[in-house]
Structure 1
Amino acid sequence: MAGAATVSNDLVEYGFRRVIITITAVLCALLEIVDTTIVNVALNEMRGSLGATLTDVAWVITAYAIANVIIIPMTSWLSQQFGRRNYFAASIIIFTVSSFLCGNATGIWELVIFRFIQGMGGGALLVTAQTIITESYPAEKRGMAQAIYGMGVIVGPTLGPPLGGWIVDNWSWPYIFYINVPLGIIATMLTLIYVKSPKYGEKMRADQVDWWGILFLASFIGSLQFVLEHGQQDDWFEDSSIITLSVVSLFGLIAFIWREMVYEHPIVNLRVLKDSNLRIGTIMTFILGFGLYGSTFIIPIYTQSILGWTALDAGMLLIPSSLTTAFMMPIIGQMIQRGVKQTYMVAAGFLVFFFFAYWMHNVMTPDTGAEHFFWPLILRGVGLGLLFVPITTMSLSTLQGKSIGEGAAFTGMTRQLGGSFGIAIISTFITRFSQMHRVNLVSHESITDFEVQQRVKQLTSGFMSRGFTYNEALDKAYAAMNGAVMKQATVLSYMDIFMYLGILFLICIPFILLVKQGKAKVDVSDAMH
């Protein structure tokens, strides 16, 4: 590995400069995360204007996610090669230029290519911003610095859908990309003027670069991300491409682990995972990503498909939860600075998230109102606030020097992968559970049952009053009955999802007892992103 960054107080900023650097880094982290979810509400408009199928337009999301998870673990190494400030500025430029090109795309595959390039720039913004913020603060205030960064990371996924819905309703889908351009230009200028880069040791020669490691990592992560994104719609292992890419992902993982363990200059230092706290922390970060992105995915779908809400209304529902998390972050930062054990906060966060999931399980009906969601989602915001920064700090608490940066890369990658797994598993289970509940409900509704006959008769009369013949009205009555059963089955499947999600978080609590007591305040400025 190339030489580590020289830790210096020269990187600490005060007053106006620190405010500008903080705003710049949080803005860049927000841009990256918002773009992960902002396109979700614009897919129909993209499909219509570009003449694409639903499967084709799904690649707009997949390409960005694949590029993200490939670049995140490589960010530490790339920062050493080019210098942190230069790499960060170049990433902003790549993100900004590709955003403009996405808005100008005239075909679906042109858009997909530009989204992949955008994801390569965006993935670097996420993890580099964390270190730039933290290294700008003195050691005693770095818990607060991580809280400020965490505010952007947690709020971002829920800010995307309402912002995207508002832009699409008032303008058109290209503007969800154009909005990045002025912000990216400002961020680039501020980065070049204000952000400092630590001194690194000798750079790696071209013949020392771990090209095979990069190839194996890309094949493992890229194939896995595709399988997770497209598995449900392609019927999982009934599809040959899913089988092929699953095999590629498995062998890519094995080859990647082997290469990184034997090569002198690995692109990702896997040896850092020997630290038990980091191993436990990466698992918990994975679960956090599962809950964060999974709940951000499931709630808008439920409100739109079951309750008939608009995309903007569905996105706005999550705003109070995000604001609660943002309010929690400075408080959590202060608690960490005062020495409150992160294990206590993490345990409390998992417990709160369990209560949120259980509450959501109880309030879900085919006609639930926005007022029923408000307090459960406030509880979600509290739980996420208690989890994000304490898990990160706890994961890195027994690491030293450059290992902190390498460990932070793992927590960033596993959070993204946890979100991908969460969305894939939840979408699959909704389909499977809905089918199971439909079978159970239909078995209790026989055509010979008096109440069923009366309901069919009422519906038939209603359709006949609209001018349909008896046979047409009867067919529509049966279709309406089937639709009602399917809707109820789907509601039951969402209830199951929240119950299992809550249990998953509850199971995590005992594992916190395995965490060793480390540093209360982690010096993330040693990180090498």
Structure 2
Amino acid sequence: MSAPDPADSAAGGHNPWLVAVVVAIATFMEVLDTTIANVALRYISGGLAVGPDEAAWVVTSYLVANAIVLTASSFVAKRYGRKAFFMAAIALFTVSSILCGFAWSLESLLVFRVLQGLGGGGMAPLAQSILADSFPPEKRGQAFALYGIAIVVAPVVGPTLGGWLSDTYSWHWCFLINAPVGVIALGLIHLLVQDPKSAIEERERLRREGVDFDLVGFVLVATFLGSLEVVLDQGQRKDWFGSNLIVTFAVFMGIAFAAIIPWELTRRNPVVDLRLLGRRQFGSCFLVMMATGAILIATTQFLPQLLQDHFGYTATWAGLALSPGGLVTCLMMFVIGRIASVVQPKYLIAGGAAIIAVAMVDLTNLYGDLDFGFFVWSRIAIGIGLPMIFLSITAASYEGIAPAQTDQASALINVARNVGGSMGVSLAQNMLAYRQQFHTSRLVEHVVPSEPAYQETLRHATDYFATHGASTVDAQSQAFAWIGQQVQTQSAFLAYIDVFWTLAMVSAATIPLAMILTSVKRRGGAPATGH
């Protein structure tokens, strides 16, 4: 057998495993940024003098920008050159990471974070294509396993690394750490990767046939997702539709959504293939992935926030509470990979959703004396359920999809995860704020001087502070303050419980969606893993 032509490989004459390592490093850096900032939000909030709900935009803005560019990255790479686009994405991601590290206000940080998301979204699908074209078919499974490890390990490392950097140095280093990695990855991609002959021929064919990018469709999708995020993020603060800002963006969102459907259905090369979403199999997978993304990203943000605000954890320890669950996820990836060969995806998805729902219900047992182990085990349960969904959704979503549609399907599944995660964070943040106000108003109804329970509590608290050296007047003032603090703490716990109940119901709602999926025909080889 003759040696393969280096021109047919994305690795050229270089060792493909070296290319795989470089691609995995770049992917690791991008995925890391979906979680590294979560535990640093408290520092960002304090450093930029904004509220926790505003700091959450640092997460949602990145996810939305990432989702928007995902819809376009595959075609742009085919039409204008994969290597050039991949390098441009890494360069944009690296430069915007540095700018995030030097951000001087929330507004500047959000602008740079959007740019970072645009760069990251361009890297994700191209990494898979480069790997597929660097290895012969019989070795692609091993290459994608290395890629999958980078995808799984990054979210594990993210919270702990972000917490340690924030506690030891500052939150700025959560972004600045990308700079040396990005520069090295950019240089190695330039030296090692090339566009294979098949990709060059495809690019020339698209040019000859005059197939252009669906710019109008892309703008409509970007307008819809961007406006939706503004409405969800700002709604609670701006009194929803009592605000002209919210009404304006809601109108933009509605017009864009109404225009997307006829435009994309009549395009030769739509940026979003709506016909895929209209299929029962793929549409159900899309909704399941949205729900899973919402739960994953929301819990990754809210658990560190809860631990730091109400249990006195440092950012490092808040990150460490999440890490064991991530390690379990890594192990379960291999276990589920073997089980998936004999169990249909729909059963694994339903089982994973049920486990996550139970984990969310367990988190509703929230009170002030919970120890570190409670949160670790809750996260471990989530870590068991997530791989059952993520690995199975790939096989299930590709069922019945033509080979020419696989790039579009992969992009849309990743879009579903990011959009779901962004919506999950925004809606959960709104619910947390609203329910905390609600519970505070209910609890305050019982904190009145005429209530015997209040009088007894005030007396005991006053006596406690008096025995610890306070004067009578100071002791009573401290007792009043302590009671007020207890009301706020209890209302916060009740609000978090409401959020966890809601996430449990979201997870449970995906079980019937999973069960209506059709059975998948067994094939040789494994599909590429989306991240």
Normalised-by-shorter TM-score class: 0.7 to 0.9
Matches within 5 A, 1:285-324: 285-324=289-328
1:268 and 1:406 in contact (8 A); partners too: yes
Matches within 5 A, 1:114-513: 114-134=112-132, 136=134, 148-195=146-193, 197=195, 198-199=198-199, 200-201=202-203, 202-204=205-207, 208-336=212-340, 338-362=341-365, 364-443=366-445, 447-464=449-466, 470=472, 473-513=475-515
1:127 and 1:412 in contact (8 A); partners too: no
Shift of 1:308: 1.6
> How many Å separate the matches in 2 of 1:207 and 1:398?
25
Q: Which amino acid is 1:162 matched to?
A: T
Going from structure 1 to structure 2, the CA distance change for 1:348 and 1:55 (only over 3 Å counts) comes to: closer
Going from structure 1 to structure 2, the CA distance change for 1:437 and 1:69 (only over 3 Å counts) comes to: same
> How many Å separate the matches in 2 of 1:348 and 1:46?
37
TM-score under structure 1 length normalisation: 0.87
> How many Å separate the matches in 2 of 1:378 and 1:418?
22
Going from structure 1 to structure 2, the CA distance change for 1:191 and 1:300 (only over 3 Å counts) comes to: same
Q: Which amino acid is 2:285 matched to?
A: G
Going from structure 1 to structure 2, the CA distance change for 1:177 and 1:223 (only over 3 Å counts) comes to: same
> How many Å separate the matches in 2 of 1:455 and 1:203?
76
Going from structure 1 to structure 2, the CA distance change for 1:255 and 1:143 (only over 3 Å counts) comes to: farther
Map Cα deviations across residues 220-272 of structure 1 (whole Å, 9 max, x no partner).
Answer: 11111222333333343333212211221121122122221223332333233
1:95 and 1:119 in contact (8 A); partners too: yes
Q: 507-516 or 31-40: which moved more?
A: 31-40
2:128 and 2:528 in contact (8 A); partners too: no
> How many Å separate the matches in 2 of 1:523 and 1:88?
26
**Identity value in percent:** 32
Shift of 1:73: 0.8
Q: Secondary structure at the match of 1:317?
A: helix
2:93 matches 1:101: no
Shift of 1:444: 5.2
> How many Å separate the matches in 1 of 2:284 and 2:396?
9
Unaligned runs of 5+ in 1: 1-7
1:151 and 1:325 in contact (8 A); partners too: no
Going from structure 1 to structure 2, the CA distance change for 1:439 and 1:368 (only over 3 Å counts) comes to: same
Going from structure 1 to structure 2, the CA distance change for 1:140 and 1:496 (only over 3 Å counts) comes to: farther
Cα-Cα RMSD: 3.5
> How many Å separate the matches in 2 of 1:359 and 1:134?
41
Q: Secondary structure at the match of 2:312?
A: coil
* Paired residue total: 520
Shift of 1:401: 1.0
Q: 498-507 or 207-216: which moved more?
A: 207-216
Going from structure 1 to structure 2, the CA distance change for 1:484 and 1:525 (only over 3 Å counts) comes to: closer
> How many Å separate the matches in 1 of 2:346 and 2:122?
29
1:20 and 1:190 in contact (8 A); partners too: no
2:59 and 2:422 in contact (8 A); partners too: no
Shift of 1:407: 0.8
2:39 and 2:319 in contact (8 A); partners too: no
1:349 and 1:385 in contact (8 A); partners too: yes
Q: Which amino acid is 1:303 matched to?
A: L
> How many Å separate the matches in 1 of 2:112 and 2:438?
40
Going from structure 1 to structure 2, the CA distance change for 1:209 and 1:78 (only over 3 Å counts) comes to: closer
2:235 and 2:246 in contact (8 A); partners too: yes
> How many Å separate the matches in 2 of 1:133 and 1:334?
22
> How many Å separate the matches in 2 of 1:302 and 1:223?
29
> How many Å separate the matches in 2 of 1:271 and 1:467?
73
2:281 and 2:397 in contact (8 A); partners too: yes
Q: Which amino acid is 2:504 matched to?
A: G
Matches within 5 A, 1:55-70: 60-61=58-59, 63-70=61-68
Shift of 1:175: 2.6
Map Cα deviations across residues 313-351 of structure 1 (whole Å, 9 max, x no partner).
Answer: 111110000111011112222333x34321221122112
2:53 and 2:429 in contact (8 A); partners too: no
Map Cα deviations across residues 347-404 of structure 1 (whole Å, 9 max, x no partner).
Answer: 2211211221122223x21121102222222111111111111112211122121201
Going from structure 1 to structure 2, the CA distance change for 1:228 and 1:143 (only over 3 Å counts) comes to: farther
Q: 55-64 or 192-201: which moved more?
A: 55-64
1:65 and 1:225 in contact (8 A); partners too: no
1:147 and 1:333 in contact (8 A); partners too: no
Q: 451-460 or 71-80: which moved more?
A: 451-460
Matches within 5 A, 1:512-527: 512-521=514-523
Going from structure 1 to structure 2, the CA distance change for 1:492 and 1:143 (only over 3 Å counts) comes to: farther
> How many Å separate the matches in 1 of 2:455 and 2:67?
55
Unaligned runs of 5+ in 2: 1-5
Q: Which amino acid is 1:427 matched to?
A: Q
Q: Which amino acid is 1:94 matched to?
A: L
> How many Å separate the matches in 2 of 1:288 and 1:408?
16
TM-score under structure 2 length normalisation: 0.86
Going from structure 1 to structure 2, the CA distance change for 1:155 and 1:365 (only over 3 Å counts) comes to: farther
Q: 299-308 or 123-132: which moved more?
A: 123-132
Going from structure 1 to structure 2, the CA distance change for 1:251 and 1:298 (only over 3 Å counts) comes to: same
Shift of 1:280: 0.8
Map Cα deviations across residues 30-71 of structure 1 (whole Å, 9 max, x no partner).
Answer: 222322333344456556766778787666445433421221
2:39 and 2:315 in contact (8 A); partners too: yes
> How many Å separate the matches in 1 of 2:455 and 2:143?
65
| Alignment-derived partner of residue 29 in structure 1 | 27
Shift of 1:101: 3.4
Q: Secondary structure at the match of 2:34?
A: helix
Map Cα deviations across residues 504-526 of structure 1 (whole Å, 9 max, x no partner).
Answer: 22232222232122343597879
| Alignment-derived partner of residue 3 in structure 2 | none
Q: Secondary structure at the match of 2:37?
A: helix
Shift of 1:196: 5.1
> How many Å separate the matches in 2 of 1:51 and 1:442?
28
Going from structure 1 to structure 2, the CA distance change for 1:521 and 1:439 (only over 3 Å counts) comes to: farther
Q: Which amino acid is 1:32 matched to?
A: E
2:39 and 2:304 in contact (8 A); partners too: no
Q: Which amino acid is 1:39 matched to?
A: A
Shift of 1:21: 3.4
Q: 491-500 or 403-412: which moved more?
A: 491-500
Which of 81, 87, 90 is 2:88 aligned to? 90
Going from structure 1 to structure 2, the CA distance change for 1:9 and 1:208 (only over 3 Å counts) comes to: closer
